[in-house]
Structure 1
Amino acid sequence: MKLLVVEDDPPLQSALLRLLAQWGYAAEMASTAGEALGWLERELFDLVLLDLGLPDCDGLSLCCQLRRLPMHQPLVLMLTARDERADKVRGFEEGADDYVVKPFDPELLRARLQALLRRAHRPLQLELVFGPVRLVAGQTNAAVNGASLELTRKEALLLEQLLRAAGDSRSKGQLLHGISDGRREVGEDALRAHMRNLRQKLTGAGCHPNLIETVYGVGYRLNPTVSC
């Protein structure tokens, strides 16, 4: 799963990215509403962690804009110091799915994130399937023909992106963004290494060696002409 953190305080940015990486989520960071909208035009995110006090736009206004997106609308968890009852009511009225007040308990935030992602019915799809390959988004344990297959976090993030594409190609840039933890760049050499390991594990579990197909000049896809 991939999250977008919209927060303009650098120390809190770093703390949130570190926590999300520890919890197994890929994440990107935006410091302004403009940056957040730019990310949302380029990428699909499952959830947005949204501060309300942004330098270029109130977070409530940004939430309203998210709720008018024509296609994918991510979940929104407002993370703010505004703790008045009226602020919380307005946050939910403007489209928030949950509201957490700063300062927050990290374990409580983790539990609220997990609960949101579990019960979401909007476009978030938790169980992803391609032939006999199954993966619950956010987990590192896949299944092939019902048999368990343990993956690393980055391998699971790669497989999740390919499963969501359902046979369509994903560019190297899209895949690199999807496995980034927001703290360090992931290069193409690392992407190839993770993809090679993922292919080996799937082949070892009984899948066709060309289940993950290289689309030259583009990236990768799950090959719709083969099955495990």
Structure 2
Amino acid sequence: MNKTHILIVEDDDDLREELADYLQFQGFSSDSAASLAEARALLEHTTMALILLDLNLPDGDALVLTHELSQRTAATPHLVIMTARGQTSDRIAGWQAGADAYLVKPINLAELNAIIQRLLTRTTSATPHAASTWRIEESAQTLYTPDNIAIELTGAETKLLATLFSRPGEVFAREHLCHALTLSPTITDTRKLDTLISRLRKKVSTHTGQNLPLNTFRNLGYCIPETLPSDE
């Protein structure tokens, strides 16, 4: 049985070894890198389910790696940032770069394991029914309905739907979606997000006569359902 593979990118030898031992104890397999160059070499030849990423590496700021990963055509691994950078601006930069979790050192291993389990469980349990019936082509900025009607999207609509469709069944907080759209997670900009979604729903309904499969969870956020009702 194949184990879930995790990449540890950390230049502190002791912490890197501690993380590797802990992951092995939890039933995962892992590779380790102490620099951006080593991480890139491993990612070129090995499929990772998740990356534990320190930001301050000897050969540069690891945020550049997150941007590189987002440009790949292959599935992007889950990303957990582990860093000494605890300022609000650092956290925002991490979320905007695509982090699934942001932990400030020293790392609590039990908390880290809970985050890893949550992320990987969502990946393995999610069924892409919604994504396979409603699909988005980012390069063309186009959304397709199950009966292949095309809806042209704006850049903001494309970023929004690409984020939501990436993980059917997961509720994305408004703040997370604001980061994806490079908005600030303020009351004003979360209202901009809500307005964007309202206009998008109307656009889809007007052009197709169908409802966009997007659920709203009060005080939580938005979610593309894993499975669509049979009559939709």
Output the TM-score relative to the length of structure 1: 0.52
CA distance in structure 2 between the partners assigned to 1:65 and 1:94 by the alignment: 10
CA distance in structure 1 between the partners assigned to 2:63 and 2:113 by the alignment: 22
Which residue, out of 43, 46, 70, partners 1:43? 46
Q: Which one has a larger percent helix, Structure 1 or Structure 2?
A: 2
| 2:7 is the counterpart of 1:4 | yes
Question: 1:26 corresponds to which letter in structure 2?
Answer: S
1:45-70, CA deviations, whole angstroms, 9 ceiling, x for partnerless residues?
Answer: 00000000011120111111111112
State the identity as a percent: 37
CA distance in structure 1 between the partners assigned to 2:65 and 2:58 by the alignment: 12
Output the TM-score relative to the length of structure 2: 0.51
How far apart are 1:126 and its partner, in Å?
Answer: 4.9
CA distance in structure 2 between the partners assigned to 1:118 and 1:85 by the alignment: 28
Q: Name structure 1 gaps, 5 residues minimum.
A: 128-228
How far apart are 1:80 and its partner, in Å?
Answer: 0.6
| 2:102 is the counterpart of 1:99 | yes
How far apart are 1:73 and its partner, in Å?
Answer: 1.2
| 2:23 is the counterpart of 1:17 | no
How far apart are 1:96 and its partner, in Å?
Answer: 0.9
How far apart are 1:119 and its partner, in Å?
Answer: 2.1
Alignment of structure 1 residues 64-103 onto 2, 5 Å? 64-103=67-106
Question: 1:117 corresponds to which letter in structure 2?
Answer: L
Secondary structure of the corresponding residue to residue 47 of structure 2: coil
CA distance in structure 2 between the partners assigned to 1:59 and 1:126 by the alignment: 30
Tell me the C-alpha RMSD between the 2 structures: 1.6
Instruction: For CA contacts below 8 A with separation 6 or more, give which structure has more relative contact order.
Output: 1
How many residues in Structure 1 have an aligned counterpart in Structure 2?
Answer: 124
CA distance in structure 2 between the partners assigned to 1:97 and 1:82 by the alignment: 16
CA distance in structure 2 between the partners assigned to 1:108 and 1:117 by the alignment: 14
